[in-house]
Amino acid sequence: GAGVSQSPSNKVTEKGKDVELRCDPISGHTALYWYRQRLGQGLEFLIYFQGNSAPDKSGLPSDRFSAERTGESVSTLTIQRTQQEDSAVYLCASSHLGPQFFGPGTRLTVL
C-alpha cells in the first residue's frame, strides 16, 4: 500500500516568511509524528498526534512552530517568521500499535 507522503519535497523561503509543510500518513494509522534533522545532526522530535489531539508537543522549539491534524489523516506543520536556523529536513512518521514508518521528508531552506 501507499506509504507516508509529504509535500513539498523541497521548499526555499526567505527569512521572515511563513511556511506550511504537509504530511499524509498511512491510512488507518492513528499516531502521527513530526521530527526534524538539521545538517550533521540526528533526528529530533517535534510533536506527536494521537488522532487529532497532541499529547506531546515538547519538542517544538519555539512558539513560531505549530501543527494541527484533521481527524486521523493529514497533518500540517506551520513555521511562522522563519529563521535561518529553521533550515532542516522535516520528517513525518505514522504508526498504529507498531513501529513508526517515515515519509521522504521536506527539505526546508531559509535564505
Partner 1 sequence: AQRVTQPEKLLSVFKGAPVELKCNYSYSGSPELFWYVQYSRQRLQLLLRHISRESIKGFTADLNKGETSFHLKKPFAQEEDSAMYYCALLSGSSNTGKLIFGQGTTLQVKP
Contacts with partner 1, residue ranges (CB under 8 A): 3, 31, 33, 35, 41-45, 48, 50, 56, 59, 91, 93, 95, 97-105
CB of 76 to partner 1, least distance (A): 19
Cα 102 to chain centroid, rounded = 11
Nearer to partner 1, 9 or 83 (CB): 9
Q: Name which of 90, 106, 105, 87 is nearest 14 in CA terms.
A: 87
Long-range contact set of residues 56-61: C-beta below 8 Å, sequence gap at least 24: 59/35
CB of 13 to partner 1, least distance (A): 23
